[in-house]
Amino acid sequence: MKILFIGHTYINRVNQEKLIYFAKSKIVKVGLIAPQNWKSKKWGRSDKLYTGFQEVKYYPRKVFFNGIQGGHIYLNSDLKDAILDFNPDIVHVDQETFSLSAYQIAKITHKLKIPLVVFSWENIADKPLSFIRKMTKNYVLKTARAIVAGNKGAEYALRKWGYEGRIEVIPQYGVELNYKSGNTDKEFIIGYSGKLIYSKGIDVLLAAAEILKNKELSFKIIILGYGSEKKRLQKIAEEKNINEIIIWKDAVEPSKSLEIMREFSVLVLPSRATSSWKEQFGRVIIESMAMGIPVIGSMSAEIPRIIGHNELLFPEDDEYRLAVLLENLIKNKTKLSDMQQYCYKRIKENYIHDIITSKYINLWNNIIKTNLSQNH
């Protein structure tokens, strides 16, 4: 089968590794339409599309409104020419249903009678949208042969928006197993990796750290990331007199962040839902667990579904329960070892690339078979 992917998310090599798993299956021929370069607000630069995988047929294309995730668009002729050249069985778009580029692609694939599959993370069912975005969303929902929801909340939102077609809940990415030493005798390091913004709840981690310090437990914290809350969080740490146990590290490239995360004894993801955002997946969860690093997360949105263990979950904004869970791992090396093994096994059974790849291939196969039967 020939699958043509479209999306700015594949601008870099790391995210394209997913495509190589499809190509290695010997079942899928992979094509990719993506911006020839993408303005990254996170890194303050423009990244050029990586085109180094021989297994992928690349179609670098110019985009307008570059750097705006839901607002960028391609030239219609550029999209149509690439689609006709690759001649896919399915066009798979990694953009939200209300994005302008998804609307563009839906119009073209509908005219060319090529099945469209759309990937969606959005899990806020009552998300306010402009008239144009609502129109865009409604057309894409009407046109898409299937939608892949990245989480259960996205599935709920799609149904509430009126989508009656096929929905499969599959993460956008899998992960490679990358087990680190299960040594429980080294210094205990509590880690966080991600954006330093209010919705990520890092202040809850700091409050839990104060509780643990007052119990004279031995540990360090590494906070890896960037964001608007950094100064406020550093001030909170100073007020709580826990500065000396915190190491602040600036955000780094994905491959380098994994090396830093290997130092963690446990990762904490204390996210909290807001009126406009809730945790959609938390890729850092599966990356950590794939290294055998236990992850303690809040019971927010998709986090409990990924972690899947009550002894690693705490209510949103509950620093006391978080402190209890952390204390159990700091003081009990057997429990820490058990949680290392649990997390590694859960990823191996649910989130490795091979499993995620198979789920996508099964979905596409069914769509192609249905399409063939409808055309005869």
Q: Are 246 and 192 within 8 A, CB to CB? A: no
Query: Are 2-174+352-374 and 189-350 the same fold in CATH?
Result: yes
Residue 32 CB partners (closer than 8 Å, separation 6+): 4, 5, 6, 10, 16, 19, 56, 57, 58, 59
Architecture of the domain made up of 2-174+352-374: 3-Layer(aba) Sandwich (3.40)
Domain boundaries, the chain: 2-174+352-374, 189-350
pTM over 0.85: yes
Query: pLDDT per position in the chain (376 positions), as tens?
Result: 999 999 999 999 989 999 999 999 999 999 999 999 999 766 567 889 999 999 999 999 999 999 998 999 999 999 999 999 999 999 999 999 999 999 999 999 999 999 999 999 999 999 999 999 999 999 999 999 999 999 999 999 999 999 999 999 999 999 999 877 555 668 999 999 999 999 999 999 999 999 999 999 999 999 999 999 999 999 999 999 999 999 999 988 877 888 999 999 999 999 999 989 999 998 999 999 999 999 999 999 999 999 999 999 999 999 999 999 999 999 999 999 999 999 999 999 999 999 999 999 999 999 999 887 777 5
Residue 3 CB partners (closer than 8 Å, separation 6+): 22, 28, 29, 30, 31, 88, 89, 90, 92, 364
CATH topology of domain 189-350: Rossmann fold (3.40.50)
The Cα 376–Cα 372 span in angstroms is 7
The Cα 149–Cα 145 span in angstroms is 13
Q: Are 191 and 291 within 8 A, CB to CB? A: no
Give the closest residue to 320 by CA, choosing from 235, 231, 204, 200. Answer: 204
Task: Quickly count: other Cβ atoms within 10 Å of residue 128's Cβ.
Answer: 9
The Cα 204–Cα 200 span in angstroms is 9
φ/ψ region of 213 (left if φ > 0, alpha if ψ in -120 to 50, else beta) reads: alpha
Write out the H or E segment, with its range, that includes residue 289.
helix 283-289
